[in-house]
Amino acid sequence: MAGHHVTKFCIVAPIQVLEGLQRAKEIGWNHLVLAHDIVRHPERYHDVFAPMSGNYNRIVILDNGVIETGASVNLEVMLAAYREVIPTYVVLPDVLLDCKATITSCSQALRDWTAAFPPRAQFMLIPQGKTLEEFTECAEYFTDHKIAAWGCPRNLVKQIGTREKANQILHTLNPQRPIHMMGFSDSIYDDILSAKYCGLPIMSIDSAVPLRYPAKITLTTKPGPRDDTWWRHGMVTDQTIGNLKIVRSWLS
């Protein structure tokens, strides 16, 4: 075990919640942001993220929105969003639960996106598959590609019960790449334990759950799916900040 490693918690929240966290001085340095939302509110995102740009320890992951919209946004949207937040990592266009389609989609994107993004852009790959074997096959394909980080998808928990083995597979294939765990699953205790105790220095995990859950978050909380209402109208409350502190303390 890496004794001093702390897995970072990346906030996922709509712009008005990010602004509220900034006012409350709880915004932190670590975020996952959605490209399609940034292009709706470019100036507001710019104002929140510009003060972070000088911190080289921050983690800002620009996501392609596949979970939210069902398909990855296009290159034009990703580039427009990139310019507003200057992320640490850009998520390649994976296809949910589909090993072969993810290989095709991400291979193509690596060619097109590498040419289109600034030279300093770093890409994150999320292997997909319906089974651990398919997930492994997808990851293995990209072992030697020019990719800066792994993303471990939350849908594996529904498929196989845990992300611990998936994290270990990613580390085995390319230990130089840091691992980010994509979102909280329906098993928050597995999320936290896989982030903290799978024997690897997991870089980070993201979620909107602690920010949107209306009661005190616990390891057995069943948050249910995110609805559009919170994204449109949610605000920072004492509960938001309390839950954020709880999750940060679990990981530290």
Q: pLDDT by residue (tens digit) across 42-59? A: 999 999 999 999 898 999
Question: Is the per-residue pLDDT at 158 higher than 80?
Answer: yes
Task: Give pLDDT tens digits for 109-144.
Answer: 999 999 999 999 999 999 999 999 999 999 999 999
Directed axis angle between helix 188-197 and helix 238-251, to 10°?
40
Question: Is the per-residue pLDDT at 174 higher than 90?
Answer: yes
CA distance 177 to 158: 25
**Percentage of the chain surpassing pLDDT 70?**
98
Question: Is the per-residue pLDDT at 226 higher than 90?
Answer: no
pLDDT band at 65 (very low <50, low <70, confident <90, very high): confident
pLDDT value, residue 140: 98
CA distance 235 to 223: 17
Residue-range domains of the chain with CATH: 8-251 (3.20.20.105)
Average pLDDT over residues 29-48: 97
pLDDT averaged over the chain? Answer: 95
Question: Is the per-residue pLDDT at 241 higher than 50?
Answer: yes
Q: Which of 69, 73, 115, 118 is nearest to 91 (CA)?
A: 73
Question: Is the per-residue pLDDT at 1 higher than 60?
Answer: no
Q: How far is CA 176 from CA 62, 96, 114, 149, in A?
A: 21, 25, 20, 8
Yes or no: say if 59 and 78 are a contact pair by the CB < 8 Å rule. no
pLDDT value, residue 153: 97
Question: Is the per-residue pLDDT at 199 higher than 90?
Answer: no
pLDDT band at 83 (very low <50, low <70, confident <90, very high): very high
Yes or no: say if 135 and 160 are a contact pair by the CB < 8 Å rule. no
Helix residue ranges per DSSP H, 39-163 = 42-49, 66-69, 75-85, 99-116, 132-141, 155-160
pLDDT band at 4 (very low <50, low <70, confident <90, very high): low
Residues facing 207 on adjacent strands: 11
Please tell me the chain's helix, strand, coil percentages from 3-state DSSP, rounded to the nearest 5: 45, 10, 40
Question: Is the per-residue pLDDT at 2 higher than 60?
Answer: no
